[in-house]
């Protein structure tokens, strides 16, 4: 497993490329590791208000046996964060398509959390032959989102009147309240906050929040998904309740549902070992 335990180390390990989304040329930063190209690469998609650092304890472990890619969504992390372009999951789906084209990837396994799960659902619905396997963790779907915290950040006047200390306090609350334990790993909280506390970060977060469009998941034809699917869900999540996983299990064929106890929204932090084990078993196609 490589040494990317801090957000600075993760950033240093990232590569960058340029994609085109809605006639905008945007930089995408991504973590890439692993050498096994016999199987489709595993692409990890994070949510809001996180970035690819969310996967630091998972992607590097999977990379021991698979080729992995973990991009920062546009408007997040070390990808382009300037103003003036769409951050919706529709736009992120277009980013993913362009990134995979840049990387010469035809078939893919997608692992998505939160709105990254919404991006994965859109891509798997619209490209059923291109997705080998699909893993969704506490993912936005149907009308499950946006949550109150994110919706509030998306109101421009709220962002404008919020000072830096207030922003950091809100982020602290989001990352601490989304965990099962009361004593979060400081590296996780600090790493998740870091991109939003720099120049332009507050505006970028507001733009990302206002781009959360429920229509982009209510319009999907979920039974068009052909991929073998794993729902690996934190069972105590209040942001994306397990009832939505149960609904997905009913609507998506070839679905395995694993509910992880003692796990809230940030399931990869609450149950990292069992998350990795369940994911690896599914990727290997073993019981």
Tens digit of each residue's pLDDT, the chain (287 residues): 355 789 999 999 999 999 999 999 999 999 999 987 789 999 999 999 999 999 999 999 999 999 999 999 999 999 999 999 999 999 999 999 999 999 999 999 999 999 999 999 999 999 999 999 999 999 999 999 999 889 888 777 777 788 889 999 999 999 988 899 888 899 999 999 999 999 999 999 999 999 999 999 999 999 999 999 999 999 999 999 999 999 999 999 999 999 999 999 999 999 999 999 999 999 998 64
Strands (E), 85-178: 108-114, 131-139
Domain positions in the chain: 7-284
CB distance 256 to 282 below 8 Å: yes
Yes or no: domain 7-284 corresponds to CATH 3.40.630.30: no
233-238-243 Cα angle (round to 5): 55
First and final CA of the chain: distance in angstroms? 24
CA–CA gap between residue 55 and residue 57 (Å, rounded): 6
56 vs 19, 66, 98, 192, 236, CA distance in Å?
24, 15, 24, 11, 22
Residue 113 burial by CB count (10 A; 0-12/13-18/19+): exposed, middle or buried? buried
100-104-109 Cα angle (round to 5): 50
pTM: 0.96
């Amino acid at each position: 497993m490589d040494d990317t335990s801090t957000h600075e180390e993760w950033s240093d390990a990232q590569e960058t490329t340029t994609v085109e989304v809605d006639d905008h040329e945007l930089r995408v930063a991504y973590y890439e590791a692993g050498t096994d190209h016999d199987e489709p690469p595993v692409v990890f998609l994070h949510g809001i208000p996180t970035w690819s650092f969310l996967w630091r304890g998972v992607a590097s472990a999977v990379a021991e046996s698979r080729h992995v890619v973990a991009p920062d969504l546009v408007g997040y992390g070390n990808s382009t964060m300037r103003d003036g372009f769409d951050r919706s999951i529709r736009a992120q789906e277009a980013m993913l398509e362009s990134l995979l084209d840049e990387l010469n990837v035809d078939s893919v396994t997608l692992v998505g959390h939160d709105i990254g799960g919404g991006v994965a659902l859109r891509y798997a619905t619209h490209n059923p032959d291109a997705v080998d396997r699909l893993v969704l963790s506490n993912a936005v779907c149907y009308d499950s989102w946006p949550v109150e915290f994110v919706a509030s950040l998306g109101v421009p006047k709220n962002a404008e009147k919020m000072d830096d200390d207030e922003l950091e306090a809100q982020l602290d609350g989001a990352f601490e309240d989304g965990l099962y334990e009361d004593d979060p790993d400081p590296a996780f909280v600090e790493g998740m906050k870091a991109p939003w506390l720099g120049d332009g970060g507050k505006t970028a977060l507001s733009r990302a929040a206002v781009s959360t469009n429920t229509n982009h998941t209510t319009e999907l034809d979920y039974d068009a998904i052909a991929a073998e699917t794993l729902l690996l869900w934190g069972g105590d999540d209040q942001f994306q309740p397990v009832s939505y996983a149960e609904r997905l299990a009913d609507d998506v064929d070839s679905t395995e549902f694993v509910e992880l106890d003692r796990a809230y929204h940030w399931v990869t932090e609450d149950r990292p070992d069992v998350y990795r084990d369940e994911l690896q078993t599914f990727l290997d196609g073993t019981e």
